[in-house]
Structure 1
């Protein structure tokens, strides 16, 4: 699959993400295998009730069929995070308790 970073998106900087217990930087690939462009990507520690900022920013879009590298390095020792994806058709996908500490890639499907 080709790598394409649209809308000035160089990489997904996951400020509200996590790092493993050693507070290392974690990178994984986000693959948009859906039929829709990804317009918003939010994360939150699974033990919190509110979503963080949109990780794609105001102009960031991850087009259908493309992928990007997500980098997490906020110093947190949390591994379980919830993800919220909002597609260009308004559909929302919420994935709870994703273990980022052992994640190599995450694929969004229809």
Structure 2
């Protein structure tokens, strides 16, 4: 199962980590076609269920929508997420909410360079 950000455009803020993967936001709301893979396998090894997962490019100052929607990600499970939101950003901030209400935030994740992101306890 893959989730895609394709429906919305985000606002600009901070640049990328790698020179070849710098933020290249569009002007006028156009889509960026840079050919970079932004698919990331999210693995839950936290010991508890992930209730909500937010991934927002570093150029926006909000968490956008919950990527899981009506779904959850139980411990030991994984899900493929396509972080291509059309802005050209590779760096994303993640916010993870667990079923018990606790949260973890991780910043500046280069989704163009990683293939897997594992949530540990």
TM-score by length of 1: 0.77
Q: Where do 4+ consecutive residues of structure 1 move more than 2 Å?
A: 10-18, 23-26
Unaligned runs of 5+ residues in structure 1 are: 1-9
CA distance in 2, matches of 1:29, 1:17: 22
Structure exhibiting the larger radius of gyration computed from Cα positions: 2
Provide the TM-score with structure 2 as the length reference. Answer: 0.71
Q: CA deviation at 1:86?
A: 0.2
The root-mean-square deviation of aligned C-alpha atoms, in Å, is 2.3
Q: In the alignment, is the contact (CA less than 8 A) between 1:17 and 1:44 conserved in 2?
A: no
Shift of 1:48: 2.4
More strand by share: 1
**Pairing 1:1-110 to 2, within 5 Å after superposition:** 10-15=1-6, 22=34, 24-57=36-69, 59-110=70-121
Distance 1:17 1:39, change over 3 A: farther
Q: Structure 2: where are the runs of 5+ without partners?
A: 11-20, 25-33
